[in-house]
Structure 1
Amino acid sequence: MCSAAGGFASTVDEKDSMIPISSPTIYRVNEQDGSQRRMSREEEEEEMACISPHSPSFFFKHRTGDQGSLQLLIKAAVLLGKVNTTLYRRSHPAKTSHEIHQEHEHLSNLIWGLYHSIPPSFKNPFKMTRFGQLDACLLSAHTLIHTSLIQLNEDLVCLDLHPPAEDGHLQICKLSGQVLIDWFLQLIQHKNLGLISVDLGQLLCGNPTLNFGLSVAMRTQCRLIAINRVFNPSARAELDLLSFQIDQILGHLSKSAKMPLEGRIIELITGLLQNPYSLLPRSVLFPIIDPTHPHPTSYHPLNNNNGNGLAHPEGGSKLNVDDGHESMKSNFALARMLGRSAL
């Protein structure tokens, strides 16, 4: 998780986490007299369904005791490993578009299944422990679920050149990113937490999972800034709000006594704020106009400016032709592009 804390988790591998969660529970306690008895074989199998990543029920059956939030965090981390192994690490043989779609849907269903199976007592990410402290494990587990959703979908954003409102991958990233941003703003502002003070930098230094989640969330906001500038540059209110939220978090983080990764997160996000177009596929910045395309572009391509680059849509600095990346980082995005080029 430390290697992923900068916001890019391509180094996270599923095989690194495919071990059972330790479970010292081998006895069942009689609630009436407090006596103990050894678990039956059926009860042991039920227990393994909760703690073994190889169990089909691993992501959907949970404990609710004192260790429940920790086990939920471990399961969310295992799921992140599964998502990133499929996205970045596993070599994919030639597959049909239907097979690729099924694989993406399977991962999406796992994430949503984990989210909806969270026990009611763990639904609130800001739940306090019985000692009156913030349950960082529970908040981290909720954070990883949303970051997994973003990781699964972000490289597919804008690849089909749909308008933003019709881009399902974009809408998922937008929703999860805003949820995470709202949580971190809530931490900073101490709203409804009952906390005296939260030093965000110190919290992130001690919790690379939250650091990773914050990086992914702010990267998502930067991508939304670029998309709004390209597709709807007149929507100043939304653009200003996105920038304000990022600046508010970075400003608070820069005042912390300790900063995660020696301030790398500030450097990374500041660079993306200055050039958010680096998060968009080149096909969005430099579209090939095809009148036969079923979804013609509904935005104005950026005009060429004396051959050296493209004019910034708001009249600012030019965009170099290398600013936009062709989204081929994930196996899904690569397969989508290869399939589209073969049409």
Structure 2
Amino acid sequence: MGYNSKLHKSLYGLKQASRQWFLKLSSALKLAGFKQSWSDYSLFIQNHQGIFTALLVYVDDVILAGNNLEDITKTKCFLSSHFKLKDMGQLKYFLGIEIARSKHGISLCQRKYALEILEDTGFLGAKPSRFPAEQNVTLTQEDGDLLKDASQYRRLVGRLIYLTITRPYLTYAVHILSQFMDKPRQPHLEAAHKVLRYIKQAPGQGILLPLKGSLELRAYCDADWARCKDTRRSTTGYCIFLGHAPISWKTKKQSTVSRSSAKAEYRSMATTCCEITWLQYILKDLNVKHEQLAKLFCDNKVAIHIASNPVFHE
């Protein structure tokens, strides 16, 4: 009785609420025969005699998938016996992401979320833009006047970051905007408004996970050498496909200064290789066989030459 009382208090009143809840849920799932993935601790898998079930957890929201409906029903009954469970049926909406199925595959978008951003910022009636950012505009920490209310800018950029879950082509522009969260200035806000006008053009745009296609990992990486005028650091960007489906993308400023474009490209390749390795472990946990070698594409001949010839690594 004392244990249950403490658990109830920690779930709803203390800072360790999320940790205590996850310990409770994970121990129950392991009792049901699920194994926790070493690659992603929020992923639990069960595989026996050809029956595969995967369970993905985000706080108290759960996605359940598998190849056997009877086993999925059994898992639901088990969870209902341990927790108060609300079955939402077939996955259609999850954490602001809209899921739709068709004969061509599964589409993911955040139309409702995008429209909410436009409405809250007053850009529902704005003139649409064809590009999320101007090509030759470079933002710095010193240009323009400081914003009187920095919290408005931070809130907007934070919401745009979450929108990049289904819109990879916004990643670079939003990444640049996120570098000025501490002291945003007027040019930074104007650049954010440019992104909003681009979203206005097609708020329901998302990604498609095709039904057909080979399950082969292909990665494309690039680097923008010394793009940041404040630090002279380069920017890494990559996008990884499983067949024809984009599954991972990222833009990030490199941690060190590269003295040549070849070094910047090589660091970009190394970062992408780390992501590919992690994705291969995830695919293995999801019972997806990926026996062929993953392909990595880079447009810098010097970086490719260094990567393929270990003697030149120095």
What TM-score, normalized to structure 1?
0.27
- Structure with the higher helix share, 1 or 2: 1
Structure with bigger strand share is 2
Structure number with greater CO (CA < 8 Å, separation at least 6) is 1
TM-score by length of 2: 0.28
